[in-house]
Amino acid sequence: MLASYAVRVECSLGRRYPEPPHPYRDDFQRDRDRIIHARAFRRLENKTQVFTHRLSDHFRTRLTHTIEVAQVSRTIAAALHLNESLVETLALVHDLGHPPFGHSGERALDLAMRRHGESFDHNLHALRIVEHFEQRYASHPGLNLTFEVREGIVKHSHDYSPESHPELAEYLLDQRPPLEAQLIDHTDEIAYSTADLDDGYESRLLKLNDIRREVAIFDRYFAQVEREFAGVREKLKFNEALKRVLNHLVTDLLESTRQRLQAADVESVDDIRHYPERLAAFSSATDAERAQLKEFLYRNLYHSESLRPQKADGVKIIDGLFGYWIEHPTSLPASYQRQMETETRARVICDYIAGMTDNYILDQHRKLMERSVAK
C-alpha cells in the first residue's frame, strides 16, 4: 500500500521514447535493472570513495557506497510507504556521474573546465551518461529512463535555477522533487558518514578517543556499549556503537519526515512538489549531531595530511591528461573525436576523463609519461 503522496508508476510522465510495457516488471523496476546493467555502474567498483584501491581493498569504493545508500533508502521508503522501486533506482544512480579519485577528482575536473568557461557537475554528468553515453538498445539512444528517474538524478541533492540552467527546463525546476528523490540526499550522507568513520578508524587515521571527544552522538552510544560489553575488544565495541549511530540517524530521518508530512497536511505528490521547502529532514537535535559528525570527518579525515598525497596525485594526473588532450585532441579515441563535431573540445575531454576508473586513468597517465620519456 503506497501513501497518498508516493509516486505511482502508473502516473509516471513516461519515457522520452515510448516503449511497450513489460509483462512482469513495472517501469521503475526496469529503470533499476537498466542502471545495474550499465557500464558506468560497473565502473563504480574501481572509483575512489575516500581511500584509493592502492591503500587497501577493505575500504569502500564508490560502488559499495552506492549499495549501502540503496539499502538505507529502501528501509526508509518501506516505512513511509513510498515507491520503493523508484527510491532504490535513484539510490543506485545517484553517484553514476562521479569521476575517478573521489571529490578531489571532481574538483580538479571542474577547475579544468572553468579555465575554458565551462564547469563539471557530477549530477548533470550522470544525466548525460544515461541520456547519451550508455548505448545498449537498437531502438533508442541512452537508457531511456522514466521522467521521474531523470528528474531525481538532477534534483535529489540540489535545486537548479531555471535562469542558470535553461537546458534543464523540462525537469520542473520551479517545483520540489517528489519525496522519493528528497530522501536520497539524506540517505547518502547517512551512509557515507558512518562508513567513512568506519574506514577512517580501520585505517588508523581516526583515533577512538578523538572520535569520542568530538562526536557526541558516537560517544553517547559507545558509552552504552562499554557498559553492556565491558570485556569485548575495542573494534567490536566500535562496530556496535557505529551500528547504533546508523540506526539513530535512519530512525530520526524516518520519524522526523513523517512528522513533517503530517504537520504539512500533504496528501499528494503535487502537494509535495509545491510545498515551500523539502519535507524530508532530520529533527533539529539530530541535524546538529549530523553536522558535528560531518565536520569532524572533513577536518580529521577528508582534509587529513595522510590523504593529501593521494589527492595531490589525482589532481596532477587529471590536470596533466586534460591539458595534454586539449593540445593533442587527435590522441583521443575516434568516438570522442567525432563527438567534437557537436561538443566543445573541453566538454569532450571532460566526458572522457569523468568516465574513467582509477585504474584506467592511472594506466593512461603512465602511457603518456612513457611516450614523453621516449621522445
pLDDT along the chain (375 residues), means of 10: 96 96 97 97 92 71 96 98 98 96 94 96 96 92 97 94 93 96 98 96 95 98 96 95 98 98 97 97 98 97 90 93 95 94 96 95 90 69
- Provide the pLDDT for residue 181: 98
Does residue 268 contact residue 5 with C-beta atoms inside 8 Å?
yes
Whole-angstrom distance, CA of residue 84 vs CA of residue 69? 13
Whole-angstrom distance, CA of residue 186 vs CA of residue 242? 17
> Which phi and psi (to 5°) does residue 72 adopt?
-65, -40
Neighbours of 231 (CB within 10 A): 5
Helix axes 308-327, 102-114, angle to 10 degrees: 30
Can you give the pTM of this predicted structure?
Answer: 0.95
The secondary structure of residue 21, as a DSSP letter, is P
85: cell is 522501486
- Provide the pLDDT for residue 110: 97
| Domains of the chain with bracketed CATH | 9-308 (1.10.3210.10), 309-374 (no CATH)
| Helix ranges, 203-283 (H) | 208-214, 216-228, 234-264, 269-274
- Provide the pLDDT for residue 49: 85
52: cell is 584509493
